[in-house]
């Protein structure tokens, strides 16, 4: 399958009604865009970027000083679309419904920060309805060697044996947009409690220990949501 994943960072002016309308629009594309084989979406279960409102902007650690700490927030909304092939993705990108939904998303999100990855994985569509999907996108450091990249992938693949983890998928970006991230890790976990335990635990810390030196970690895009599956 060819999967297109996108994360959206909501504007601080977004209303509860606008959040719901955005999610309805994302779900609508499953039925109105013929080339979409499967669709998943969701909002971050850990509060997304809402935490930014708790700290004044001049008191936050800026991204350019967060080399090893990473960003201070998660993204707010995730969209995952599965296609049979590149032709399916191209048809979706040309679809008027996609354009209409995209225009609304741009009005309630910071479009310049939208994170995207297109990657291949072995089908059928990997959606475990009701489980939590923790996804993170990364940019390689300019000086990252092939060996360092391999260690980073292996570090996350080792999470397959962690408690509560049902599946780990790693994808390498094949998209051509200049704003695309380089790679993605997609982890399926039994429930929100197990996800919180995983992210705060030793196994995840060990994975990050090899990922951080090989990436521009301060620009990591991450989000955890309950899978809908359409």
Residue 221 DSSP SS3: strand
DSSP 53: G
- pTM for the model: 0.95
Residues 6 or more apart in contact with residue 135 via CB below 8 angstroms: 5, 7, 78, 80, 184, 185, 186, 187, 222, 223, 224
Cα(32)–Cα(59) distance, integer angstroms: 44
CATH architecture type of domain 2-60+67-226: 2-Layer Sandwich (3.30)
Extents of the domains making up the chain = 2-60+67-226
pLDDT (tens place) for every residue of the chain, 230 residues total: 999 999 999 999 999 999 999 999 999 999 999 999 999 999 999 999 998 877 777 878 888 888 898 998 999 999 999 999 999 999 999 999 999 999 999 999 999 999 999 999 998 999 999 999 999 999 999 999 999 999 999 999 999 999 999 999 999 999 888 899 999 999 999 999 999 999 999 999 999 999 999 999 999 999 999 999 98
Vertex 6 angle, CA 168 and 204, to 5°: 35
* Secondary structure (DSSP) of 57-89: GGGSPPGGG-TTT--SS--SEEEEEEESSHHHH
């Amino acid at each position: 399958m060819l999967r297109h994943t996108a994360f959206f960072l909501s504007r601080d002016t977004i209303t509860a009604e606008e959040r719901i309308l955005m999610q309805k629009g994302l779900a609508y594309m499953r039925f109105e865009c013929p080339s979409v084989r499967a669709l998943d979406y969701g909002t971050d279960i850990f509060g997304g970027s809402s935490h930014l409102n708790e700290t004044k902007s001049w008191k936050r650690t800026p991204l350019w000083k967060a080399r090893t700490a990473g960003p201070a927030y998660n993204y707010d909304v995730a969209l995952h679309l599965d296609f049979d092939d590149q032709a399916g993705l191209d048809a979706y990108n040309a679809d008027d419904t996609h354009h209409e939904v995209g225009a609304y998303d741009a009005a309630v999100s910071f479009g310049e920060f939208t994170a995207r990855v297109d990657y291949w994985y072995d089908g059928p569509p990997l959606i475990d309805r009701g489980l939590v999907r923790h996804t993170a996108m990364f940019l390689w450091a300019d000086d990252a060697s092939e060996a360092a990249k391999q260690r980073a992938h292996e570090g996350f693949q080792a999470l397959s044996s962690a408690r509560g983890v049902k599946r780990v998928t790693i994808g390498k970006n094949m998209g051509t947009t200049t704003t695309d991230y380089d790679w993605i890790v997609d982890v399926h976990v039994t429930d929100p409690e197990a996800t919180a335990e995983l992210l705060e635990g030793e196994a995840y810390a060990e994975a990050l220990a090899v990922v951080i030196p090989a990436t521009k970690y301060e620009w990591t895009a991450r989000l955890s949501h309950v899978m809908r599956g359409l």
